[in-house]
Structure 1
Amino acid sequence: MTPPATKVTPISGFPELLPAERLLELHFLDVVREVFELHGFAPLETRAVEPVERLLGKGGDADKEIYAISRLADEGGSGRDAELGLHFDLTVPFARYVLENAGRLAFPFRRYQVQKVWRGERPQEGRFREFTQADIDVVDVGELAPHFEAEMPLVIAEAFRRLPVGEFRIQVNNRQVPEGFYLGIGLEDVAGTLRIVDKLAKIGPEEVAALLVEAGASDEQARLCLALAAIRTEDLGFVSQVRALGVSHPTLDAGLEALSAVIAAGLEQAPGTLVADLSVARGLDYYTGTVYETQLLGSEVWGSVCSGGRYDSLASDGRTTYPGVGISIGLTRLVHLLVAKRGLTASRSTPAAVLVAVVDEESRGRSRAVATALRARGIPCEVAPSAAKFGRQIRYADRRGIPFVWFPGAGESGDQVKDIRSGEQVDADAATWTCPEVDLRPAVVTR
C-alpha cells in the first residue's frame, strides 16, 4: 500500500534562500572575509555544541534560547548527550577555544569566524532560530590594550562601506558609563538596570521608567537613567552632557575616558560613522567595557545588524584571564532584510556567465571541451542540458540570467558567442575570448 503523501512545509525560523539570493549572501561573505583578512584576523571554526552548563553561565538570558541536543537512540541510556546545547553565539565557544589552546596561540590573538548559530526564540521578521554570524575578536593575556576597542568598529565600517547597505551608523557606549552612573545615583543592581534600559528601543521610555520603579528605583533615579540614555552625539560632546547631570563616580570617569578614546579614533579615521549613544546597553552579562550596535539609516526600525563589545572575564581558567573585545555581523539577518525590504538580489541565479550550446548529442563532447577551456581561464560556464533548438537553449540561458551563449562551429572558421541582451554575435576562440569583467560574476541588483 502506498503511504499517503506528506505535505512539505517550511519550518519557522530556519530560512532558506533562492539561488540568486544565496549568491547575494555569498557576495557579502566574500567581502566580509576579505576585509577581515586584510586586517590580519585569522580564520577559525569551532564545534557547533558546547556544554549547556557553560552556555547557561555565560549568556545572560540564554537559558530561554538554547537548543539542547540528545541522540534519538542512546544505547547506554545515560542521557549524557542532553548536557550539550547548540551555541547561541560565537563568542562563548571562542572563549572556550582560547582556554583549551592558549599554549599554542600567539597573543594578542586575532580571529574571525563565520558560522551558523542557533537560538530558540520566537521567529519574527529579521530574527531567526538558525542564522549565520560573522565575528572578529581580539584576546590577550591578562591585559587588553584599549586601542583594540576602537579598532573593532573601524573594521566593520570598512566592510560595510564595501557592501550595498547604504548609509549606516555604529552606535558606541561603554558599560562602565551606565554602571558608574547607576552606582553614583544609588542603584546597586547594575545588571538588572542595564537589562531594563536595554529594552528602551522596544518598549519606549515610559514603560522603561515603570519597570525601573517596579524594580526598586525612585522616580528621580528612573528619570536620571532615562536622561543618561537620551544622550547621543557624533563628537565628544557627550562628556559634558553627562557631567551636566551632576553624577560622579570613579567607574563613570573611567567609562567616559574609554568611550572618548573610541569616538576620537572614529572622528579621525571614519568621520560621521561612529556615534556615542548612551542608550546602548547590550543585554548579555559578559560585556564589561565598550559595546557596539549598528543601524542602517532609514531602516532604524530593523534594529541592530552588527553588535558586540569588550569582555574581561569570559575566558578564564582561574589563574589566567584572557580579556577580549569583538563585534559580530548578523549576516543572515542583514541579507534577509535587504532582500525583503530593499529588493536586493543577484543579477542571475547561477554563477555561469556562458552557456555552451549543444548542436546535437553526438557533438556534446565538443561543447564540453569548450566549457573546459573557458573554465581553465576562470570563466564560469555550463553546458546546455539538451540539444534542443537554439532558440530554446537561448531561452534557457535567459531565464537564468546567463548573458552569453556559445555556439560551437557556428562561424566559418570556428565558434561564435552571442550576447543575448544586445543580440550581438561574433567569432570567438575559447582559448582567447575574454568575458567582460562586469559579466564575469553575478552583480548585486535591485528588483
Structure 2
Amino acid sequence: MSKVTPLSGFPEFLPSDRIVELQFLDTIRETFELHGFASVETRAVEPVERLSNQGEDADKEIYGVRRLAAEAGEDTSLGLHFDLTVPFARYVLEHGGKLAFPFRRYQIQKVWRGERPQEGRYREFTQADIDVVDSGELPNHYEVELPLVIAEALRKLPVPEFVVKVNNRKIPEGFYRGLGLDDVATVLRIVDKIDKIGPEKVIERLVESGATDKQARLAVQLADISSPDTSFVEQVRALGVEHPTLDEGLEQLSQVMAAAAEHAPGLLLADLRIARGLDYYTGAVYEIYLVGQESFGSVGGGGRYDALASDGKTTYPGVGISIGVSRLVHRLVSQGLLKGTRSTPTAVLVALNAEEDRAEAMRTAARLRARGIPVEVAPAAAKFGKQIKFADRRGIPFVLFSTENGPEIKDIRSGDQQPVDPAVWTPPAADVRPGIETLQENS
C-alpha cells in the first residue's frame, strides 16, 4: 500500500474542529435568512472565458477541468470557480426571468484557487456570501446594509474584535484620473501591494509603469488616508486633486460611513488603501480584519459591481460581501482559541451488559432519538469501566446503563449516577448538541 501524503492547501478538520466550523456555518446561515436572503447553489465549474480576466492574477489561479480520458477535440474549456460572485452573476443572467428583483441571495460553497499555500491561503476553502442584485439600478443603501448583516453574523460567534474597512473604487479611480494617470487598473494593482512591499517600492513601481514621482507619491498619500467617520473627505481634498468621479466616490462613501455611524458605531473604518484586486468592482469595496491581526490579511470582503451581470440588453448591478469561513475558523483553531466541546454529536451512549441485550438497547436508543437526543449503542459488550472510557475518549457526556434496579444514567464528567426513565429523560439543553469551547479570552 502506498504511503498517504497530505496535499498542501487542501485543509481537513478533525471531528472536534469540524464541529466548530459547522457551528459557524449554521450561525451564518441563520443570520442571512433572518435578513431575507435566499439560498442558492451554483455548479462548481464555469467556462474559463467567464472566469478569466477578472484581475488579481485570476487567470493563473484557475483550476482547469477535463476528463482524463478526454478525446482529441473534446471541450476542455471549463474551470473550477475561484469565488462565488462570478458564478452568481452567470446564475442571475441564466435565471433572471424567474427571479424577483431586488434579489437577495446567500451562498455557502467551496471555491478553488491555484495559489501558493501558506497560513490562511488555501487551494480549496469555504466561503459564505450574501449579495443583492437588481435589474437596471441598485440603490446605494445596500452598500450600508450588507456589512451590517455580516457584522451581526460575526458578533454571534466567538470571534475576536473585528473591523470592516471600506473604500469606494470611484475615489482612487477619480483621483488617479485627476492626476493624469488613465491606466487605473495598473495603478490600483500596484497600490494594492503597499502592505506587502511598502510605500517606497510602490512609488518605484508606479514610476516604472509611467507615473511621475509626484503622481506616484500623491497616489501613496491617498492610500494612507483613513478615518472612522467622514473626515476622510477633507483629507482627500487637502491633496488638491479634482475629478467628477472622485467627487461621486467621496459622496457615496460619506453616505455609507454616516449610516454606519448611526446603526453600528465603530464597525466601519474608511480606509482608502482598500482596493480589492478583482476588476469587476465599481463602487464600495470591503475588507474584514481581525483587530491586532491585520498582518494575517482579511477574513472576508466584497464590494459593488455594476456590469458583471449583463447580457447586452439588461444589466443587473449588485453588491456583495463574503466571510472566508475556512480561513477564519482555521485561524482561531490553530491559535488555540476555539475547539469543539466534543468530537461527536452523540450525547448518550447506551451501554451493553451482554451482546444479547443489543436489540433492547437499540429500542431504547430509538426512543431517545425520537425526542431529538443524539444516541449511539456501545460497539460491544464489555465491563462498564471500559464502556465509560470509550465514551470519555469521544466526549460523550452520558452513559445509560441497565442495572438490577432498572435503567440509570451516569454523567461521566461529574460521576453522578441516578435512576432514569428513558421514555421521558432529557439531558440539559447545553449537552444535547456539541458546541464551541472558548479556550482563551478573545479580545
Same fold, TM-score > 0.5, yes or no: yes
The question of 1:436 aligning with 2:432 is answered: no
| Cross-structure match for 2:224 | 230
| Cross-structure match for 1:425 | 417
Task: State the SS of the aligned residue for 1:111.
Answer: strand
1:381 Cα deviation after fit? 1.6
Alignment of 1:4-43 (within 5 A): 5-43=1-39
CA distance in 2, matches of 1:210, 1:378: 64
Task: State the SS of the aligned residue for 1:114.
Answer: strand
The question of 1:166 aligning with 2:160 is answered: yes
Alignment of 1:186-197 (within 5 A): 186-197=180-191
| Cα deviation digits, residues 198-252 of structure 1 (max 9, x gap) | 1112222121111111111111111111111111111111111111111111111
CA distance in 1, matches of 2:197, 2:55: 22
1:79 Cα deviation after fit? 2.7
Question: Which of 298, 301, 307 is the matching residue for 2:301?
Answer: 307
CA distance in 1, matches of 2:424, 2:195: 58
| Cross-structure match for 1:349 | 343
1:265 Cα deviation after fit? 1.7
Task: State the SS of the aligned residue for 2:10.
Answer: coil
| Cross-structure match for 2:60 | 64
The question of 1:125 aligning with 2:115 is answered: no
The question of 1:367 aligning with 2:389 is answered: no
Q: TM-score, normalised by structure 1?
A: 0.96
The question of 1:55 aligning with 2:55 is answered: no
1:446 Cα deviation after fit? 4.1
Stretches (4+) displaced over 6 A = none
| Residue identity (%) | 67
- Of the structure 1 ranges 175-184 and 425-434, higher mean CA displacement relative to structure 2 is found in 425-434
Task: State the SS of the aligned residue for 2:52.
Answer: helix
Letter in 1 for 2:372: G
| Cross-structure match for 2:41 | 45
> What runs of 5+ residues in structure 2 fail to find an aligned partner?
none
Task: State the SS of the aligned residue for 1:288.
Answer: coil
Matched residues, number: 439
CA distance in 2, matches of 1:416, 1:132: 43
1:334 Cα deviation after fit? 0.8
1:411 Cα deviation after fit? 6.0
- Of the structure 1 ranges 32-41 and 337-346, higher mean CA displacement relative to structure 2 is found in 337-346
> What runs of 5+ residues in structure 1 fail to find an aligned partner?
none
Letter in 2 for 1:88: F
Question: Which of 245, 254, 276 is the matching residue for 2:270?
Answer: 276
CA distance in 1, matches of 2:172, 2:193: 15
Alignment of 1:313-328 (within 5 A): 313-328=307-322
Q: TM-score, normalised by structure 2?
A: 0.97
CA distance in 1, matches of 2:323, 2:307: 22
Alignment of 1:72-221 (within 5 A): 72-74=68-70, 76-80=71-75, 82-221=76-215
Taking only aligned residues, the RMSD between alpha carbons, in angstroms, comes to 1.1
CA distance in 2, matches of 1:96, 1:254: 28
1:342 Cα deviation after fit? 3.5
CA distance in 1, matches of 2:6, 2:123: 13
Task: State the SS of the aligned residue for 2:198.
Answer: helix
| Cα deviation digits, residues 162-188 of structure 1 (max 9, x gap) | 111111000000000111111111111
Alignment of 1:369-384 (within 5 A): 369-384=363-378
Letter in 2 for 1:286: Y
Letter in 1 for 2:143: E
The question of 1:241 aligning with 2:214 is answered: no
Question: Which of 305, 314, 330 is the matching residue for 1:336?
Answer: 330
C-alpha contact 1:127 1:333 (8 A) present in aligned 2 = yes
| Cα deviation digits, residues 378-409 of structure 1 (max 9, x gap) | 1112111111110011001111111111113x
Letter in 1 for 2:248: A
C-alpha contact 1:58 1:314 (8 A) present in aligned 2 = no
1:94 Cα deviation after fit? 0.4
CA distance in 2, matches of 1:411, 1:160: 50
CA distance in 2, matches of 1:87, 1:57: 13
C-alpha contact 2:55 2:277 (8 A) present in aligned 1 = no
CA distance in 1, matches of 2:150, 2:116: 28
